[in-house]
Amino acid sequence: MVSGINQGPNLGEDLTYSGTVSAAMEGAIMGIPSFAISVASYEAEHFDTAARFAGRLAREIQRRGLPPGTFLNVNVPDLPEAEIAGVEVTRQGRCRYSGRLEKRTDLRGRTYYWLAGDVQEMGSREGTDLAAIAANRISITPVQLDLTHHEFLAEMRSWQL
């Protein structure tokens, strides 16, 4: 299942807010090999680049499959295909927004809040989705459904609860 092509990046922790990513996650829950794909710009012009890559990736997934409980989060720079600097398999970056939380109103008159301001990266950037996009490379991050912090389980079980 292909979810997207979304306009706007789904990088770092932002993937947890994304309907595009959530749709791919639902596919994985249902046992369907899935990926979310986004053009990493809010004023995207090059959906054709992302569409051609989505076709290639879908064929490769069909040939090889994905592990159970895994889907892919794909971000494509908003560039002509000839200007893409390659494809990188990445880990999820860490970032936060400094500045402000904007109060907005949707088309039905309902209030919602939008994280705004400058992105501040947290931790090492090397090998992340954020770094790949900054270097004009397509980022593919394998995401698993199990969000359990396995290393912390034993310690937490020792708590006197």
User: The domain that contains 67 carries what CATH number?
Assistant: 3.40.1210.10
Q: Is residue 108 part of a domain?
A: no
- CA pseudo-torsion sign 19, 140, 129, 147: positive
pLDDT bin (cut points 50, 70, 90) of residue 104 is confident
Q: Is residue 106 part of a domain?
A: no
Q: Is residue 103 part of a domain?
A: no
> How many domains are contained in the chain?
1
Share of the chain above pLDDT 90, in %: 80
| Rounded distance between C-alpha atoms, residue 111 and residue 126, angstroms | 37
pLDDT bin (cut points 50, 70, 90) of residue 93 is very high
pLDDT score at 103: 87
Q: Is residue 134 part of a domain?
A: yes
Q: Is residue 51 part of a domain?
A: yes
Note whether 71 and 37 are within 8 A (CB).
Answer: no
Q: What is the pTM of this model?
A: 0.84
21: left (phi > 0), else alpha (psi -120 to 50), else beta?
alpha
pLDDT score at 124: 60
Find, among 154, 158, 122, 128, the residue nearest to 140 by Cα. 128
Q: Is residue 55 part of a domain?
A: yes
| Rounded distance between C-alpha atoms, residue 129 and residue 139, angstroms | 5
The amino acid occupying position 137 is R
Q: Is residue 59 part of a domain?
A: yes
| Rounded distance between C-alpha atoms, residue 131 and residue 95, angstroms | 11
Q: Is residue 10 part of a domain?
A: yes
Q: Which residues constitute the domain of residue 133?
A: 2-94+124-157
